[in-house]
Structure 1
Amino acid sequence: MKNCFAIAFSLAAITLPATMATAAETVDVSTGQGDVGTVDANWLIGGAAAFIPTAINTAWTSGGAPAGQNGNNDGARWITPTSVGTATEPATTISYSTVFTLNSMATVAQFVGTYWSDNRVVEVLLNNVSIFVNGGSASQFNGSGIGINQQVAILGSGAQNNLVFRVQNDTGNSGNPAGLRLDAVISAVPEPGTWMLMILGLGAVGFSMRRRQKAQVRFQFA
């Protein structure tokens, strides 16, 4: 019986490192992950390519700085429908979308980040489920951005998750550009079963150390 417990604890100890790595799995869903003037391979706009623009609206913020100030000369890591972020776009709701996967078995994740938009994000959807609704009417392209920090339901085990930002572009007096900037990560939240395996793993380590301390050396005389 003792041998059975020892084997069980040993298996738990072996599982522990992989379990802890899975529990800490995080995916970066930020925009602008590429070179300025090229397509952002991670994001689409209305199903078409999203661009990291070569020029942006002077009011658009990057890390708290307007375009052209404090090193903000890289397109502000925004994405826009065209390679030039100052181009006029029609008044409509534009869908910015990305797909991500988490190999963890978790079905819940923590979504933490900040966004800026021109004109304004009206809703954020994850797998066609609304996870954030913005009740404000003001444009959101300057200042410190709008923060999001909440738990969301995800599809784990390598399944594809679809994240969508719906951005309203209003009519401007002389035309209006459209854009989105997001700095965010999505981290898997361990399942209760995962925590149990971690506890068992720690117990296995303690059990093993205790056995070693109690081991006795026997001498046999002829």
Structure 2
Amino acid sequence: MSLDVFSAHLEQQDIRLDGKRSALIVIDMINEFCKPGGKMVLPGYESLVGPQLSLVEAARAAGAPVIWVHDAHRPGMRHEREWAKRTPHGLENTWATEIIEDLGARPDDIHVTKRRYSAFFQTDLDLTLKDMQLDQLVICGVVTNICVRSTVHDAFFNGYEVVVPADACAATGPREQESSLYDIATHFGIVSDTQSVVAAFSKGATLTNMIAA
């Protein structure tokens, strides 16, 4: 992909993942967005399961925590901000907000509940990561152009090194996927793929931004 004139002012910085410094954050792989019966199902979630399982296995083997982010909303709010733009969805403490069984989330993993698009916005995610002394984040999930992207932005703003494996994320469409990954690669982090991230977790391989290829 060629760079536009503005984005071409890119300072290329590779990342070498360290299991003691890193975490895998999986965004909103919940029944509401993935499974039949969900109110806002993203078609094709199945293609993400294999790559995400590989990332989970690699992260655990490297000693990096797996953090599952659940979009969950309280009923009875006078002005639920997300519902001002989106169909009411993801009522807390229901099947809708549970991580899909395909991914094997564990109770002893870290689970974060959010009520806005970003997993950092008024949650304890930043505090949790700082208490664990983690500053490298691999972020994947759904959807790339909304909740994944918002989380990546806030991770960058808060000083974290960010890696996004493109094949472990899905957007609302091809245009949105390409545009969001382009912006992440040129302004907020490194865009890579699952195979490279797994190698980085297991062998200490260096991750290079795919945008530079």
TM-score range, shorter chain: under 0.3
Q: Compare CA radii of gyration and give the structure with the larger one.
A: 1
Higher helix share: 2
